[in-house]
Amino acid sequence: MLYLIGLGLSHESDITVRGLETVKKCKTVFLEAYTSILMAADKASLEKFYGREVILADRELVESGSDTILADAKDDDVAFLVVGDPFGATTHSDLIIRARELEIQVETIHNASVMNAVGACGLQLYQFGQTVSLVFFTDTWKPDSFYDKIMENRRIGLHTLVLLDIKVKEQSIENLARGRLVYEPPRYMSIETAASQLLEIEEIRNEKAYTPDTPCVAISRLGSPSQTFKAASLQELSNYKSGEPLHSLIVLGRRVHALELDYLDAYASDPKKFREDVVKDQEYFKPAPYVPPEEPLSD
Ligand SMILES: C[S@@+](CC[C@H](N)C(=O)[O-])C[C@H]1O[C@@H](n2cnc3c(N)ncnc32)[C@H](O)[C@@H]1O
């Protein structure tokens, strides 16, 4: 059996009781180590907590070498640990499809994910549209497919959760060219970089999917002891010192409920200005007033 087990967001003890009991009985334990990190735990503390060896599984192992992970799962129990919830990243459906092809049984043990825990900032999960991912730009590569999705969400008044890039086991161009297996230190996108990249694309596209004044919420280290929320305009967040990773950004939609705003007051440096920005932003994508169809002319 292959067990996909969610670890929650921060501490080794965030695993569920059923998840922990399962890890303890598995022959092999892999930890997916490239889509997220446990902010208050590491490989050593997990091994101590589970009393088991933990094998770090990088992208290459999961995406190209999944046979290694699945090899034991045919006859023994294998645990594949994922920070957050296993379905909080799109990557892991693929592993399940390959397990099914090999007729390996799969069971998932869920946990909290950034996808639901963001509700802690006060914005209602029911008011979110498509989630988007933002990657680190380079001088020559600035993928902007997120822009159209934010536009679609905002057209119908919904908030957008923007997940930010994590780069682990990355090689510099020079090391890559020389075939040297030397990796750069891990990089986690900050709120400042995310807000600046969003503004850069708005400047290029200029279709007003959002503006520098669009109200946003910065989510930092959700579920950890130093969890922080900041409600401010996109422009303000481009100068915000967001601190240690992990971070996510929410671009507000027009349909902000009064209760959502009351909740966000606590996270704005200037609640009055934040509310003014929300009112100003509501002018974008405002539906045209309803005009009843003309009555057919009677004879
Ligand atoms: C690809 S997602 C993986 C989500 C994970 N499987 C889950 O269910 O929570 C990783 C991205 O989500 C966001 N994220 C994950 N955990 C977070 C946290 N605790 N606080 C803020 N953002 C978080 C970050 O932008 C991070 O780069």
> Mind listing the pLDDT tens digit for each residue in 8-39?
999 999 999 999 999 999 999 999 988 888 88
Per-residue pLDDT at 203 exceeds 80: yes
Looking at the structure, tell me whether residues 36 and 128 fall in a common domain. no
Write out the two tokens for 48.
Answer: 């101590």
Q: Residue 44 C-alpha to ligand 1 middle, in angstroms?
A: 21
**Residue written as token pair 């022959």:** 27
Per-residue pLDDT at 91 exceeds 80: no
**CA 219 to ligand 1: nearest atom:** 21
Looking at the structure, tell me whether residues 107 and 176 fall in a common domain. no
Q: Across the beta sheet with 78-82, what order do the strands follow? A: 55-57, 28-32, 78-82, 2-6, 106-109
CATH classification at residue 266: 3.30.950.10
Give the residue ranges of DSSP H helices in 182-270: 191-205, 234-237, 258-264
114 lines ligand 1 (CB under 6 A): yes
Rounded Cα distance, 247 and 221, in Å: 6
Give the residue ranges of DSSP H helices in the chain: 17-25, 43-50, 59-63, 66-71, 93-101, 114-117, 145-155, 173-177, 191-205, 234-237, 258-264, 271-281
The answer to whether residue 173 sits within a structural domain is yes
Query: For ligand 1, atom 12, which residue shows the shortest CA distance?
Result: 163
Give mean pLDDT, residues 160-186.
Answer: 86
**What's the number of domains the chain is made of?**
2
Domain that holds residue 201: 115-283
Residues in the chain: 299
Q: Residue 231 C-alpha to ligand 1 middle, in angstroms?
A: 19
Tell me how far CA of residue 241 lies from CA of 46, 129, 220, 272, 274, in angstroms: 30, 27, 11, 21, 18
The answer to whether residue 292 sits within a structural domain is no
The answer to whether residue 70 sits within a structural domain is yes
Q: Residue 246 C-alpha to ligand 1 middle, in angstroms?
A: 7
Looking at the structure, tell me whether residues 120 and 162 fall in a common domain. yes
pLDDT value of position 89: 78
The pLDDT confidence band at residue 148, using thresholds 50, 70 and 90, is: very high
**Over the chain, what is the mean pLDDT?**
93
**CA 35 to ligand 1: nearest atom:** 1
Say whether 256 counts as a known binding-site residue.
no
Per-residue pLDDT at 298 exceeds 80: no
The pLDDT confidence band at residue 299, using thresholds 50, 70 and 90, is: low
Looking at the structure, tell me whether residues 42 and 162 fall in a common domain. no
Distance of CA 277 to the CA centre of its chain: 25
pLDDT value of position 290: 86
Q: Structure pTM?
A: 0.94
214 lines ligand 1 (CB under 6 A): no
Query: For ligand 1, atom 16, which residue shows the shortest CA distance?
Result: 114
